[in-house]
Amino acid sequence: MADTSNFRTGFTIRHKDGIWAIAEFQHVKPGKGGAFVRTKLKNIENGKVVEHTFRAGEKVDEVRLEKRPYQYLYPDGEFYVFMNMETYEQIQLHKDSLGDIPLYIKESDLCSILMLEGKPLSVEPPLTVELAVKQSDPGVRGDTAQGGSKPATMETGLVVQVPLFIEEGEVLKIDSRTGKYLGRV
């Protein structure tokens, strides 16, 4: 058991029948009444973010998660196959449990999988990924005062807003947290 004095960004707790990571927290001591901690909690399994207030000193159930390196191997129907880089053991994760993660990974990319008691909870892709442009309309400069942008479909199916000069076949660096174009490779 831990209490609110142990809170930090990334701290994981068991709360309301789920595993939650603290995304933000703020200790508040009003002039009148007891102190409290205002938090934003992110559900590890589904990514849902909620706000919750804890009384100062309130006990919480801390959860220890392991982050293990895995390599994405290939899609297999409704599942995606990953291999543990230390033991070479393979696991299959259902596509519904991954959300939009498959848009940011290609075969042989390294990922991190958060495990709780040997059970995979979520997949974290690399912070930046390099993807080739599969389809993009030609950029037409005209009605823009500054440089414009256009949508481009990447090799994984991800659609990203890119500058007008980007052409099909180019490899781009994409931020996997925001889905934004960072530059050419």
Q: Residue 121: its pLDDT value, please? A: 84
Residue 143's pLDDT is what?
53
Amino acid (1-letter code) at residue 121: L
Going by CATH, does the domain composed of 66-124 fall within 1.20.1530.20?
A: no
Q: What is the pLDDT of residue 164?
A: 86
pLDDT at 99: 82
Superfamily of domain 128-184: Nucleic acid-binding proteins (2.40.50.140)
Q: Over 70: is that where the pLDDT of 142 sits?
A: no
State pLDDT tens for residues 75-92. Answer: 998 999 999 989 999 999
Q: Could you give the residue range(s) of every CATH 2.40.50.140 domain in the chain?
A: 66-124, 128-184
Percent of the chain with pLDDT over 90: 56
- Work out the pLDDT band at 154, boundaries 50, 70, 90: very high
What does the alpha-carbon distance between residue 148 and residue 165 come to, in Å, rounded to a whole number? 9
CATH class of the structural domain 2-62: mainly beta
Bridge-based pairing state of the strands 66-76 and 59-62: unpaired
Which of 179, 99, 103, 172 is CA-nearest to residue 136? 172
SS3 state at 167: coil
Query: What mean pLDDT comes out for the span 134-139?
Result: 85
pTM: predicted TM-score of the whole model, two decimal places: 0.75
Q: Are 127 and 182 in contact (CB under 8 A)?
A: no
